[in-house]
Amino acid sequence: MNYNYLKYFKVLAETEHYTHASEKLNISQPSLSHAMSELENELGVILFEKQGRNIRLTKYGKFYYEYIEKGLTEIQHGNSFVRSLASIDSGTIDLGFIYTLGAYYIPNVIKKFLKNNPGVHFTLFQNTSATVIKNLRDQVFDVGFCSKVENTNDINYIPVVKEEIVLVVSKKHPLARFDSIDLTKIKPSEKWIMYSKRSGLRPYLDEVFKSIKITPNIQCEIVEDTAALGLVAINYGIALVPDINIIHLYDLKTIKIENKLEDRNIYMATLKNRYMTPSVNKFINFMIHNTFNNQEFENE
């Protein structure tokens, strides 16, 4: 169905006069008459009938007008909304990120970006790395911040954050007397709070334990950092966690790790070969520029 024919129908229904409608639409009267004939043929009903020198809507035309008026208004709203989303100055960026970044890193990234881009809006979602990547693939998110996930050759990963891994224990735990520790010295019977296999941090921690030849005695598995910190605080077990700012909110002792560990990287993730709006591209370039120039987003 021709979209212009629907606009012509609406104007003709409101003016009830071919000459007036054609002038308003800036088209010839024969073109308008032809468009209405085509529309009536496609619908299989007569929309207008003559009334003296004017025309008026038939019963079916009146029914149709109610739908067309609402429909064209919604289309206009949709056009305006999508244009605003695509604007480099007032677009919307859908951002997904892992839990460890929610308290400080992402808020400070947004704060710094909005300083020069106040018209851009963000929608924010926290979840595991696997879910962030899934939502990138489903085009729910424009950009993700997460760990690398296996079998994701369709994703671009750019390292943006290095997280130090530390041991956290309850202040009542015997290990709380240490400021640093060799993980191999921890008793095999010690109970561990471990991130679940759905977490992007779990493969990294599995490699850590494998490298130091330890099989952790896992007390329970969690997904989110605050759950791990809360359980450690009640002396339910000990845990390896990223050294994030919210640790100090809990009754915990943070212990540096003496073993040489591989860097724990967090990446900015985007879907390859996907159209990006100007505002999303601007944000991605902002992150790349600030990351490569060692811009620190924590604790600003």
Cβ(102)–Cβ(242) under 8 Å? no
Q: Architecture of domain 164-264 in CATH?
A: 3-Layer(aba) Sandwich (3.40)
**Backbone torsion region of residue 239, taken as left when φ is above 0, otherwise alpha when ψ lies between -120 and 50, otherwise beta:** beta
Which element (helix H / strand E) includes 130? helix 129-137
* Domains of the chain by residue range: 3-86, 92-161+266-292, 164-264
Query: pLDDT 10s per residue in the chain (300 long)?
Result: 798 999 999 999 999 999 999 999 999 999 999 999 999 999 999 999 998 878 999 999 999 999 999 999 898 888 877 776 667 777 889 999 998 898 889 999 999 999 999 999 999 999 999 999 999 999 999 999 999 988 899 999 999 988 899 999 999 999 999 999 999 999 999 999 999 988 889 999 999 999 999 999 999 999 888 999 999 999 999 999 999 889 999 999 999 999 998 888 999 999 999 988 899 999 999 999 988 765 666 544
pTM: 0.68
- Please give the Cα distance from 172 to 233 (Å, whole number): 9
Q: Which class is 92-161+266-292 in CATH?
A: alpha beta
Same fold, 92-161+266-292 and 164-264: yes
Cβ(106)–Cβ(96) under 8 Å? no
Indicate the CATH number of 3-86 among 1.10.10.10, 1.10.3720.10, 1.10.540.10, 2.130.10.10: 1.10.10.10
In this structure, the number of other CB atoms found within 10 A of the CB of residue 190 comes to: 16
